[in-house]
Amino acid sequence: MLRRPALAVPARRLGGSFRGRPGFLVALAVLGVALFGGWFAPHDPGVSLGIPWEPPGGAAVLGTDDAGRDVLSRVLAGGRDLTLLALVAALAAAVLGTVGGLVAGWAGGRTDRVLTGAADVLLATPFLLLALVLAVSLPADAAVVAATACGGAPLGLRLTRDLTRRARGTGYVEAARGRGETTASLLVREVLPSLAGAAAADLVARFVMALQLTAAFAVFGLGPDTHSPDWGVMLHQNLPGTPLNPAAMAAPATALATLAATAALLAHTLPNTNRPRPPDNDPRHHAPPLTAALPHTRPGAAPGDRTHEQRTASLGTRPDHAHRAPGDRPPRRAALLAAVLPHTRPGAAGPTPRDRAAVFPRTRPGAAGAAPDDRTRRRRAGLLGTRPERTRRAALLAAVLPRTRPGTAGAAPGDRARQRRGALLAAVLRRTRPGTAGAASGDRTRRRRADLLGTRPGRTRRAALLAAVLRGARVGSLGRVRCESGLGGGLVVNGLTVWDGGGRVLVAGVDLCAAPGEVVAVVGASGGGKTTVLRTVLGLLPPNLAVDGTVCWHGAPVPGGRAGRRWRRAHVALVEQDPVATLDPLHTAERAVLDGRRVPVERARSALAALGLPADAGTRRTGRLSGGQAQRVAVARALLDDPDLLVLDEPTTGLDAGALEHVEAAVRSRRGGTGVTLLVSHDRAFVERVADRVVDVGPEPVPRPAPRAATPTGAPVLEVTGLTLARGTATLLDDASFTIARGELVALTGMSGSGKTTLLRALAGLDPPATGRAHLNGRPLPWALRDRARADLHAVQLVAQDPAGALNPAHRIRTTLTRALHAARVADAPKRRPPGRDPAGALKPIRRIPTTLARALRASRAASTRESERQRAGHRVRAVLRPLGAVGGRGRVARVDADVAGLLRRVGLDSGVAGRWPGELSGGQRQRVAVARALAAGPVLLLADEITSALDAASAASVLDLLAELRAAGLAVLLVTHDPAVAATADRVLHLHDQALVPQAPPRTEKSHVRPR
Amino acid sequence: MTVPRILARLSAVAALASVVVFGATALLPSDAVDARTGGRATAAEQDRLRAELGLDRPVWRRYADWVTGLARGDAGRSLLTGRPVGDVVAERLPATLTLAGAAMALTVPLTVALAWLLGATAGRRSRAARPVGGLVTVAAALPQVVLAALLVTVFAGLLRALPPVSLLPAGGSPLDDPALLVLPALTLAIPSAAYGATMLGGAVADTLRRPHVAAAVARGVPARQVAARHVLPFLLAPALRIFALLAGGTLAATAVVETFFGYAGLGELLAGAVASRDVPVVQAIALAATGVVLAGFLAADLAAALTDEERPC
């Protein structure tokens, strides 16, 4: 069935979802047996064979039942009606729940309250009870369907509603709104596909519910009559005969249990489909857990109404689940190896001998082909997670490695050998596929390679280490932090290097030491790994990062695991970034400061007073304190016991001058004492005042897009006057005016929460502001999306911050871009300017819609003889028909593909990306695709919201390059950022402060912060 | 939410639930008379019966009568025996409360233990935890009938350790022979605990992921203290809410289990009343079970109000 050419594309997707998921096939098989098992019954299930409850053996394999009928035949035949009924009931419940949830989640407001309220009432009544009550006035089958719908639909409704609400705020839905798609189209094209996994899981879960009901009804005697074979009825009838023939009970029970269990397990695994894999270079996935944003953790929400099922189905990426995009199946290792191996042999395409000599400086030819139990190889295998002689993989690895590098085996022990091995592995795997080494992370090849070696990227320290080695890192200590004895007191850190799950360097060779009584400050660019250094020193590194180097505390290694925890409790005090979140919201300030330590409460009070907190603050819950107060509570908690090692991560952000003074005094008072103080801050002035020494975890400046000489700016593209923005009751921006000219890159900076994103979303039409006027190309631009003309919609495009939610995980890149291109064409058919082919044309100012239409009509009349006429008409027809399926011939497909490829080229991506799923791309690649999608509409103004903040430095720099290029082509860009390095690439900077937009010069003098990784 | 608001909301839900219960039995086109006579009575006889039962009056009048009757403590008379519903229910109530109590006594600790296991290992993908997750999923999906059948087959059929049916001695209490309670209580507790654990496990995982918990671990606060001080207070409200749901579900499931084991309790009465279309009995029992769930929700909401993060101190 899967081979038929007509089904080629869907079959591939289907096949993709089946492969590696034997569960699907098992479930199908079980369902098949339940439905069609009767065909294989050896006897007529209705005919008596002998005495009742004859034990197994003889004519009846499983014995006989209460009327002497064959148990096996009755079990085989007894599943059909039950399963069919449960399927119908499940379908009813799932459809009701999904549709209700879509409506409630999308509409929001009163509709949402009414629907979820109704769902709550239904949920308060146990559904078995509801079924019984309904059975009073309905036939049993109808009661089962109705009760499953009443009891199950509310669950599905709540789940779908939550997912829909979340999907509504994602970048891909907002982008679709921004190009003027209708609600129906949004729901069907964007929201529903991303819910498909959850909806399917819901259907299966409802099937289980319905099965439970049907079985119960059989026991009540409400189900089918006693003659028809039915598992539930059999259980009821054969209970008295259990001692005589246990099989008469066990067989139908097992059959029902198998069906229910298979379905439940299927539902348990289903929500994983269609969700993005956590990109392994997205810093948020290896950020310290404290700063990691967990989209599905909603503090304060009633956890009772969020079932496990709901959470696992959440769209948020969870690192602990295998997010396997459909179509991304585990590669066939054998085939891959066959492809890989020929190239690994010496002499194959690769670097010249001299290069090789550089990689392997000390080749020892004599040692080639050492015994296989050689220690080095075993260690190497251990590093890669394979044990020698155990697996084919290990054997293969062993075969590959000696041949590639004659002489490694049996090389000198110690660090050098290990380093060489690292280089060796890098060489082997690089040379394996010369074109792909060092490709972007998340890259499929790298993943395959890691899979080949039995590790998955982004999960474990070993995988990160391997990734680092693959990228050419030299690993000295097999990814463990060492401590060499004989180092002095205090904290000594030498050559500390940390790699992320994708093998990129987060911290490069940091050296620092801090003696007792010293305050040492760690400074450096944001994203430069300062926090990572602190956490590594404390042994708090997330498990998916690899680490190498020396960390000693008073001449001994920092213990790990439980001992590490005791060590931290006894010796370390920590003030983390965003300290407010580290306070238990249920505790009072005093209780938080004491932190369970046996210390009189007066000391907590005096500690709070010493930091300038008001007297009544101690008895207030930490959640009721202001941000600055809560921050000082965290500092007081850290200072309470005069800790041996005090670690402060950005302790001053958000403090006003008075509070800052108190904190500064507290830190300075540790100088000359007995404790070590380690401090991370970007506030250079503060650091200079309190620190004895400053360690720069070194930005190494690299060329980054030089700010262009002020381009002669054209006419203003956007003029905004009298703009007032509010969030809730707070005014964010009061009566502000600004303009953006053609070909201008304007950066918008400001504190977090100052309203930068709100301003951008207002301009994008997503959240209309309170007051203000906007003009686009001299014409008034309405605020709300629905009031904007199509051309205006396309002229202003937003690229949002979150690369994870920017692209619909259910669509390939090609689909996403084709859709965007298509929407642009529908709006602006006569101009026919696929931006990929005509970048300059894409930026022409948009005319008024009436003009456009008039021109279109005129042009089409004049050009009626031309071939393009038919094409244009075809465009419109296909535009209408497109939602119905594949309309349009091969030529159209080819042209669209060319357009998509052109778009991708414009944002610096390979056209092969078109066939990928978003989950297979790195954060940087996804952000580029998001830009490409915006460009597809042919905007004159691009609104970019922190589009580099979630990217590593190299990807960020390349995205900024892209923006610079686009600007040079005449696009106006408004870029929200908090990073001075990013702002430095702009022509102008607008600083949002105190409800006003203050023009600033771009911070050109500041040291560059972007460095390679 | 403040306490008065909680009470107001719950009374609204209770009122709605009573409408649902009444509506499901009374509003649908085929009424109790159709069901009882099975279409064999003439139209005149049916009309007479309807008038006798008061079914010819408008629905809202019947509902109002029913509710005011309930308020006076009069739930009507059984259509089958003519006895007051209150008496019939009171007679069977102790047996069911004993069974449901025994089941909940097993369910609660089992739920907590499994939920902690599931929640604490949720982020770790540990090899040991995965089969547990699968087992819990399967156990939550098993129909009670199936579990009962499997337990009976093993303990009564193969081991002959426990009685296959739990027939109560006339006038006796189930506590006279606790062996009778074992299989029914296990049948009720296992799926219920598994279902509760999947829900509570989610809440545990969410709480463990909260930043202040991770921060406490980073500060080196001992695990037991972290659990007691920073995790459990947040789980009180969800746990109570889940237990309220489970109690309601257990009460409803007694219908299946009591019928299966021949245990003369409220559930068996309900199943029989449904089979004989004895509407007042069904209504009373359904409303009582809903009341249990709502009482549980009330307790949970009050606990939530105590652990409300917005409270000043």
Could you write out the DSSP letters of every residue in B7-31?
Answer: HHHHHHHHHHHHHHHHHHHHTSSS-
Sign of CA dihedral A429, A435, A438, A439: negative
Q: How far apart are CA A823 and CA A858, in angstroms?
A: 22
Task: Record the pTM.
Answer: 0.70
HEC string for B45-77 = HHHHHHHHHCCCCCHHHHHHHHHHHHHCCCCCE
Q: How far apart are CA B101 and CA B98, in angstroms?
A: 5
> Is A555 in contact with A485 (CB distance < 8 Å)?
yes
**Which residues in chain B have Cβ-Cβ distances shorter than 8 Å to A297?**
206, 209-210
pLDDT on residue A795: 86
Nearest Cβ partner for B138 among A265, A578, A620: A265
pLDDT on residue A758: 84
Answer yes or no: do A208 and B141 touch at CB < 8 A. Answer: yes
Is residue B64 within 8 angstroms of chain A, CB to CB? Answer: no
Strand A745-750: give its sheet, edge to edge. A796-799, A941-945, A972-976, A745-750, A988-993, A996-1000
Task: For chain B, give the number of residues.
Answer: 313
> Distance (Å) from the C-alpha of residue B293 to the closest C-alpha of chain A?
6
Q: Which range has the worst mean pLDDT, A267-281, A798-812, B102-116, B131-145?
A: A267-281
pLDDT on residue A55: 82
Domains and CATH numbers, chain B: 3-71 (no CATH), 89-307 (1.10.3720.10)
Q: Who contacts A10 (Cβ-Cβ below 8 Å, separation ≥6)?
A: none
Nearest Cβ partner for A215 among B29, B32, B146: B146
Instruction: Name the closest residue on chain A to residue B134, using Cα atoms.
Output: A265
Helices (H) and strands (E) in chain B, counts: 13, 0
pLDDT on residue A128: 86
Residue B87 CA from chain centroid, whole number: 22
pLDDT on residue A289: 28
Q: What is the DSSP letter of A189?
A: I
Q: Is residue A96 helix, strand or coil?
A: helix
**Segments in chain A below pLDDT 50:** 1-20, 272-374, 376-377, 380-421, 423-424, 426-443, 445-446, 448-458, 478, 701-707, 709-710, 829-888, 1005-1013
Q: Who contacts A853 (Cβ-Cβ below 8 Å, separation ≥6)?
A: none
**Which residues in chain A have Cβ-Cβ distances shorter than 8 Å to B310?**
623-624
Q: Residue A805 is encoded by which pair of tokens?
A: 């939610």
Planar angle of CA A471, A473, A479, nearest 5 degrees = 115
* Ramachandran category for residue A857: left, alpha or beta (phi over 0 → left; psi -120 to 50 → alpha): alpha
Task: For chain A, give the number of residues.
Answer: 1013
CB atoms within 10 A of CB A757: 19
- CA distance from start to end of chain B: 15
Q: Residue A686 is encoded by which pair of tokens?
A: 């503060």
pLDDT on residue A677: 92
**Amino acid of residue B205:** A
> Is A124 in contact with B294 (CB distance < 8 Å)?
yes
Q: Residue B193 is encoded by which pair of tokens?
A: 């605990």
> Is A655 in contact with A628 (CB distance < 8 Å)?
yes
pLDDT on residue A473: 61
* Contact pairs from chain A to chain B, CB under 8 Å: 301
Q: How far apart are CA B307 and CA B236, in angstroms?
A: 8
pLDDT in tens, B51-69: 777 777 788 888 888 888 8
Q: What is the pLDDT of chain B when averaged over all its residues?
A: 83
pLDDT on residue A207: 93
pLDDT on residue A148: 92
Q: How far apart are CA B112 and CA A141, in angstroms?
A: 36
Nearest Cβ partner for A596 among B221, B256, B293: B221
Q: What is the DSSP letter of A188?
A: I
* pLDDT score of B228 more than 80: yes
Q: At what angle do helices B266-275 and B279-306 cross, to 10 degrees?
A: 130
Could you tell me which of A824, A847, A848 has the C-alpha nearest to residue A835?
A: A824
pLDDT on residue B48: 82
In a mutational test of the A interface, the residue from B153, B208, B240, B294 whose CB has the highest number of chain A CBs within 10 Å is B153
CB atoms within 10 A of CB B12: 12
- B127: confidence class by pLDDT, cuts 50, 70, 90: low
pLDDT in tens, A463-483: 666 666 656 566 555 455 666
Planar angle of CA A177, A182, A187, nearest 5 degrees = 85
**Which residues in chain A have Cβ-Cβ distances shorter than 8 Å to B142?**
257, 260-261
Instruction: Name the closest residue on chain B to residue A538, using Cα atoms.
Output: B218
> Distance (Å) from the C-alpha of residue A806 to the closest C-alpha of chain B?
25
pLDDT on residue B300: 79
Could you tell me which of A1013, A892, A874, A1001 has the C-alpha nearest to residue A953?
A: A1013
What's the ipTM? 0.86
> Is A605 in contact with A618 (CB distance < 8 Å)?
yes
In a mutational test of the B interface, the residue from A26, A62, A137 whose CB has the highest number of chain B CBs within 10 Å is A137
Q: How far apart are CA B249 and CA A124, in angstroms?
A: 10
pLDDT on residue A348: 28
- CA distance from start to end of chain A: 48
pLDDT on residue A641: 83
